[in-house]
A and B are shown apart, each in its own frame.
Chain A
């Protein structure tokens, strides 16, 4: 089928097959996804025993804030993508600004989570309220720790962009770190669907 195109397509193909970052990074990322997958299965297992309680408790969550959280992280991820694009074309200053922007949005996520949690506490809702809120606080809390680690990773990337090592070596580090930040974003999207939206 593609015999005559093989020669021309070859560089294209090798670019498509490029695995961003280091292989080990993906071990961590898939491991973490597995860990969260176990969370989600556990949640659904417990939920199946008392769907009414979960549906009732879900109404007490702030969907608007949840959506805001999602948009914040998606925008932040977009910043990281653009930052990498800028880095690839040697626009170092732009790359740094975009990483800083991603970091600021990450911090905004933490602030909005703090607002959301303290609102729950004000209404007397804690981890001990019921099973749904146990999962809600534990999952969002463990995810929040990922966001904090992710901010550390972004700070490290910010330093890496301007470091003296070769462009290729820095790119590998940047891609690996960016993949982690996308993971944090993706896990949130799934958590948002599971906790706030699932009926």
Chain B
């Protein structure tokens, strides 16, 4: 039962996995290149792994696209959670989720373009590298409002399709996402794009949180709560 929905939910963890493999195993961008690297060092980085970065970027673009079905499944759940007929949280999630897909897709695409001609003038590679990483952290503001929307929908749900603690947990995740965007202000330290608050916490928590969300949705289907809610 609900095979399509389950497929969409699994697309989330799978997409995160694919994105991670592309970023880590192929592009070797874990940890991310520090913003303090000089122009020639950045150009050399892309020259040394041009093919790996392009292959990694392909996986990242596929991974990012797989967030789409996952957010669609999340919206399907939220639609049933929200008591209000207009479904404001569901729409907010869907729209901000789309922007997040766009940010991760474009970040991957920009890395691919940067590594496409690694012998171009180092100034250009330097600029493209900045653009790529800043596009990734650009996902933070929409992610804040996406998680607030999900959190509020869980708390507004009279049927408790997902546990209420998940609502509060998701609101907390929004707090963690917020400082990620501060990477645009700094080139070193904990708030830079390779720092604790702009990268490690956000990237770590988003993985944990999305997987918990996926397993809770799958659990709601398995236990029959989802069918019950549909029949109401």
User: Taking beta carbons and an 8 Å cutoff, which residues of A are in contact with B?
Assistant: 22-25, 27-28, 31-32, 35, 38, 42, 46, 127, 131, 134, 138, 142, 145
Of chain A, the residue at the smallest CB distance from B165 is A24
- The number of chain B residues touching the other chain, given as a range, is 20 to 34
For the complex formed, measure the closest distance between the CB of B24 and the CB atoms of chain A, giving whole angstroms: 23
A131–B175 touching, CB < 8 Å = no
Chain A residues near B172 (CB, 8 Å)? 27-28, 31-32, 35
A75 and B204 CA atoms in complex are apart in Å by 38
Of chain B, the residue at the smallest CB distance from A43 is B190
The answer to whether A138 and B179 touch (CB under 8 A), given A38-B196, A127-B185, is yes
A27–B165 touching, CB < 8 Å = yes
Chain B residues near A145 (CB, 8 Å)? 178
A146 and B179 CA atoms in complex are apart in Å by 12
The answer to whether A42 and B190 touch (CB under 8 A), given A127-B185, A142-B179, is yes
B169–A46 touching, CB < 8 Å = no
The answer to whether A142 and B178 touch (CB under 8 A), given A22-B164, A28-B169, is yes
Q: Quick check: is B168 within 8 A (CB to CB) of the other chain?
A: yes
Chain A residues near B201 (CB, 8 Å)? 35, 38
User: Taking beta carbons and an 8 Å cutoff, which residues of B are in contact with A?
Assistant: 155, 164-165, 167-169, 171-172, 175-176, 178-179, 182, 185-186, 189-191, 196-197, 201
B175–A27 touching, CB < 8 Å = no
Q: Which of B179, B190, B201 has the most CB of A within 10 A?
A: B190
Q: Is the interface of B mostly helix, strand, loop or mixed?
A: helix
B179–A28 touching, CB < 8 Å = no
How many A-B contacts at CB < 8 Å in the complex?
46
A-B contact pairs, 5 of them (CB 8 A): A35-B172, A42-B190, A138-B179, A142-B179, A145-B178
B186–A28 touching, CB < 8 Å = no
Chain B residues near A23 (CB, 8 Å)? 165
Of chain A, the residue at the smallest CB distance from B154 is A24
For the complex formed, measure the closest distance between the CB of B143 and the CB atoms of chain A, giving whole angstroms: 15
Q: Is the interface of A mostly helix, strand, loop or mixed?
A: helix
A127 and B169 CA atoms in complex are apart in Å by 30
Partner of A131, one of B164, B189, B197: B189
A50 and B178 CA atoms in complex are apart in Å by 28
Q: Which of A23, A25, A138, A145 has the most CB of B within 10 A?
A: A138
A134–B186 touching, CB < 8 Å = yes
For the complex formed, measure the closest distance between the CB of B161 and the CB atoms of chain A, giving whole angstroms: 15
Of chain B, the residue at the smallest CB distance from A39 is B197
Chain A residues near B168 (CB, 8 Å)? 22, 24-25, 27-28
A24–B167 touching, CB < 8 Å = yes
A138 and B47 CA atoms in complex are apart in Å by 36
Nearest first, the 5 A-B pairs at minimum CB distance are A24-B168, A31-B172, A28-B168, A24-B165, A24-B164
B171–A28 touching, CB < 8 Å = yes
Chain B residues near A25 (CB, 8 Å)? 168
Chain B residues near A138 (CB, 8 Å)? 179, 182, 191
Starting from the known contacts A31-B175, A145-B178, 13 additional A-B residue pairs (CB-CB under 8 Å) come to A22-B168, A23-B165, A25-B168, A27-B172, A28-B171, A42-B196, A46-B189, A127-B186, A131-B189, A134-B186, A138-B182, A138-B191, A142-B178
Chain A residues near B155 (CB, 8 Å)? 24
A156 and B98 CA atoms in complex are apart in Å by 30
